[in-house]
Amino acid sequence: MRGNPVVNRRVVHKWRQVGIPTAGSVKIKILLCCCIALTLVVLAGLASSFMGWTGHPDSSYRLSSPRGRYAIVMNTWKRYDLLKQSIAHYVSCPRLESIHIVWSEPEPPSESLKRYLNRVAQSNSGDGHSVELKFDINTEDSLNNRFKEIKDLNTDAVFSIDDDVIFPCSSVELAFSVWQSAPETMVGFVPRVHWVDESKGKDHYIYGGWWSVWWTGTYSMVLSKAAFFHKKYFSLYTNEMPASIREYVAKNRNCEDIAMSFLVANATGGPPIWVKGKIFEIGSTGISSLGGHSERRTECVNRFVTVFGGMPLVSTSVKAIDSRSVWFW
């Protein structure tokens, strides 16, 4: 029997009456849950800003540990306006301990320049901490000077930087935090890559610039124009690395950054770490804009491979990003 059609219609009508408010209730509950979750996220962000939390280690650790702060080693050459601008910016970074200016000019820095920079360092230092400012004077002009051992460094971490590039303190602090998790390697903002030149055999390599990194999604170096590394590599570069490499760098005025990448990779057996960060070029174009730059860098790579007895660079596709700055990751 198919049953009483009147009874069936009544049953269906009854379930419709029950089902409609039930479905509506579920939707309302889901919407309320989403609103509550969003409210909690917003309140958490506000609470952290009100309490002054920045995601850095507590102040006692920052002051007591050599890994709690970092030093900037800044390479400069007769660009005093850029030097002033860079110093004025970086002294405000929260965990900066000191700035060492690598000075390789024939004449020592003028007293007026030193007074100005010291005054800026005192007035712009953030968090009530005074940043120490020092000139490391060199008697000869050589790109190797930027990696000379500094005896009075009080921090393990060194942020090597050129005077014509500026990164926001938030980006520098992120890179420093990444370095703290991997203090043996190089952590930087400017990646480069190498690959085998198959037309010349498996032992011959090509140097690739930024567009090669962008196209392949891989890199094997981070340039020392903006990179963190351990201070011990200063000593290794000056005292342990083959002298022929330092002589080549001094003679050709190029490739000291590639030499440092080789040195660190050879010591660690691993790749560097590329950190995503905004970069502001405040100077004019450098040697990288000259004709034949890539060819000269390729020559450096192959010469260094010969001296090291093999290719120490390791390629990777890992990139560190601050997840707080993106919605989905």
- Judging by DSSP bridges, how do beta strands 221-222 and 280-281 pair with one another? unpaired
Phi, psi of 328 (to 5 degrees): -125, 135
C-beta separation of 71 from 159 below 8 A: yes
Q: Is residue 4 helix, strand or coil?
A: coil
**CB proximity list for 122: less than 8 A, separation 6 or greater:** 130
Enter the DSSP assignment of 226: E
- Residue whose entry in the numeric block shows the structure tokens 């800026």: 120
Active site members: 257
Give tens-digit pLDDT for 204-250.
999 999 999 999 999 999 999 999 999 999 999 999 999 999 999 99
Could you give the angle at the alpha carbon of 248 between the alpha carbons of 245 and 250, nearest 5°?
Answer: 110
Per-residue 3-state assignment (H helix, E strand, C coil) for 97-141? EEEEEEECCCCCCCHHHHHHHHHHHHHHCCCCCCCEEEEEECCCC
User: If we measure between CA atoms, which residue out of 237, 232, 190, 225 comes closest to residue 209?
Assistant: 190
C-beta separation of 179 from 91 below 8 A: no
Give tens-digit pLDDT for 110-155.
999 999 999 998 887 766 678 999 999 999 999 999 999 998 899 9
Tokens of 110: 């003028």
Q: What is the pLDDT along the chain (329 residues), one digit of tens a residue?
A: 444 444 444 444 443 444 434 445 545 555 555 555 555 444 444 433 323 323 333 333 344 456 699 999 999 999 999 999 999 999 999 999 999 999 999 999 999 999 999 999 888 776 667 899 999 999 999 999 999 999 889 999 999 999 999 999 999 999 999 999 999 999 999 999 999 998 888 889 999 999 999 999 999 999 999 999 999 999 999 999 999 999 999 999 999 999 999 999 999 999 999 999 988 888 765 555 556 789 999 999 999 999 999 999 999 999 999 888 776 65
Q: pTM (2 decimals)?
A: 0.78
For 314: left if phi > 0, alpha if psi spans -120 to 50, otherwise beta; the answer is: beta
